Amino acid sequence: MTIADPAGAALASLTGARALVARTSTAERVADAVRNEVVEGRLRPGGRLPEQALSHALGVSRNTVREALSQLVAERVLVREPNRGVFVAVPDAEAVRDVYRARLLIEPAAVREGERADDPEAVGRLRAAVREGREAAARDDWPGVAGANQHFHRALVGLAGSARLDQQMGLLLAEMRLVFHRMTSVREFHEPYLDGNDAITRLVESGERERAAAEVASYLRTAEAQILAAFANL
Amino acid sequence: MTIADPAGAALASLTGARALVARTSTAERVADAVRNEVVEGRLRPGGRLPEQALSHALGVSRNTVREALSQLVAERVLVREPNRGVFVAVPDAEAVRDVYRARLLIEPAAVREGERADDPEAVGRLRAAVREGREAAARDDWPGVAGANQHFHRALVGLAGSARLDQQMGLLLAEMRLVFHRMTSVREFHEPYLDGNDAITRLVESGERERAAAEVASYLRTAEAQILAAFANL
DNA sequence: GCGTAAGAATTGCTCAACAATTCAGCAAGA
DNA sequence: TCTTGCTGAATTGTTGAGCAATTCTTACGC
């Protein structure tokens, strides 16, 4: 890379842009559309997704629909029952316990030992999620608060600095959204965490990672108990 | 469920066997076959997997192959390049670091806080993996030692008692097998861990979870450094 | 009311086709 | 020599039709 080749550096910096050039495949877009319908709650847990209906509704072939559905089954957003079809997953109490066992391991550890726990950018995402939640609450947008809450926990795991962990947490949180759809009173559930998240963020910002991790664990345990209680009388 | 209905209990206990009866779908079996070829090293990292060739070789339609390949792409075993095809993943140094960031968070935490860390069955799996490794070493079966090593780390995560975490670790370990295929000297790499795994298992068995977790973290860091060093001069 | 057997609908999978894209090779031009 | 442009072959992405197997529905007979 010499001065005689001034474009070299610029070209090298473009290699990463390949992903932007290649537009997403149809199957991927179908998967995104269906996933959205599910996590937004427009498709109820337990609801059925007939291939032909989707094919017609989205204007793509049944094979493409099939490919998209398989992907969502792998993500645990949908469940496939052989020869019967795919359904929106209906998480049960055991699923909740399982997810929280995983979260209780990952999230506090990410706060306590995360390599990026003092990286201003990563910590800034915590702060941003807190602000997002407060703003949503200010305009009585409780689904918005719920979304901000998810962003907060995503940011917590982001402190670990592992893309694979981030992705896994995305799946766990998508599953949690299904859980919330089985519950009433979204507001009562999410509102108390506004202050909690703020407190955790402050602890992280001031470097008190051990205490922050303990807070995270405590909040997770509280949330799990609350959800399981709501499931019990259902 | 009365005495007048003696088959009731037996029948009820079979409901879980449905997954066994409903034999796996063709796409799933294709995915298993290809995944095996990859993790066993018969398909080299970077190697290409043309759909038509697979379709012909396995005697299934191209659409079914496609479904299987998509699944494996989601598992990070394969990589899809739009309009070019799917290739066996070639993990780079950054992938190694990412995987170890995740493992360093999950595995020590599972040992330290896992709900099943004193469940004899879960701990027994650790002991079994250690024995498996020693037996493989005794007959100079170094791929066997590598496999036992993976079983050991799987068992470590099993202490957490979360199916979702178990699954995630399965993916991470599959990716690690791809990493090993880029390295020579399987023996030199895996042999030292026979004693280490034994030591960790003893610590878990005697309830010294904090020390066991520290050992796990230490061994993971050593392994990562070793792999990255091997990658450096490649 | 209850089991049951035809009939309809859906899934799992295959086959064939076609446009779009990539790629190797080659020829023309600077 | 190196780059550019073109052409043809191969592969992917997607579609559509079709069929056996399974499940669901419904109407029937007892």
| Residue A91: burial class (beta carbons within 10 Å; 0-12, 13-18, 19+) | buried
Task: Map out the domains of chain A as residue ranges.
Answer: 17-88, 93-232
Minimum distance, in Å, between the CA of residue A133 and any CA atom of chain B: 28
Which pLDDT score is estimated for B23? 64
Residue B234 or residue B195, greater confidence: B195
Given this chain, do its domains B8-88 and B93-232 carry the same CATH topology? no
Which pLDDT score is estimated for A1? 36
- Cα distances from A160 to residues A2, A155, A164, B145, B147, in angstroms, run 38, 9, 10, 30, 28
Which pLDDT score is estimated for B6? 30
Per-residue pLDDT averaged across B164-187, rounded? 90
The answer on pLDDT for B129 being more than 80 is: yes
Which pLDDT score is estimated for B96? 96
Q: Do B165 and A74 touch (CB under 8 A)?
A: no
Which pLDDT score is estimated for B14? 38
The answer on pLDDT for B181 being more than 90 is: no
Domain A17-88 in CATH 1.10.10.10? The answer is yes
Which segments of B59-185 does DSSP mark as H helices, in order?
A: 62-74, 93-113, 120-138, 142-158, 163-181
Stretches where chain A sits below pLDDT 70 are 1-23
Q: What angle do CA A87, A91, A93 make, to 5 degrees?
A: 155
- Cα distances from A61 to residues A64, A215, B167, in angstroms, run 5, 49, 31
Torsion of CA B70, B74, B75, B80, to 10 degrees: 60
Summarize pLDDT for A60-101 with one digit per residue, the tens: 999 999 999 999 999 999 999 999 999 999 999 999 999 999
pLDDT band at B233 (very low <50, low <70, confident <90, very high): confident
Per-residue pLDDT averaged across B192-214, rounded? 95
Tell me the chain A residues in contact with residue B108 when contact means C-beta distances shorter than 8 Å: 109
The answer on pLDDT for B157 being more than 50 is: yes
DSSP readout, chain A? --TT-THHHHHHTTGGGHHHHSPPPHHHHHHHHHHHHHHTTSS-TT-EE-HHHHHHHHTS-HHHHHHHHHHHHHTTSEEEETTTEEEE----HHHHHHHHHHHHHHHHHHHHH-TTTT-HHHHHHHHHHHHHHHHHHHTT-HHHHHHHHHHHHHHHHHTT--HHHHHHHHHHHHHHHHHHHTSS-HHHHHTTHHHHHHHHHHHHHTT-HHHHHHHHHHHHHHHHHHHHHHHH--
CATH classification (class only), B8-88: mainly alpha
Average pLDDT, chain B: 88
Which pLDDT score is estimated for A22? 60
Q: Which residues of B touch A (CB under 8 A)?
A: 22, 25, 27, 63, 66-67, 70-71, 74, 76, 82-83, 98-99, 101-102, 104-106, 108-110, 113-115, 160-165, 168, 171-172
Per-residue pLDDT averaged across B93-109, rounded? 97
Q: Please choose, from the candidates A137, A97, A44, the residue with its C-alpha nearest in 3D space to the C-alpha of residue A223.
A: A97
The answer on pLDDT for B180 being more than 80 is: yes
CATH of domain B93-232: 1.20.120.530
The answer on pLDDT for B9 being more than 50 is: no
Residue B71 or residue A12, greater confidence: B71
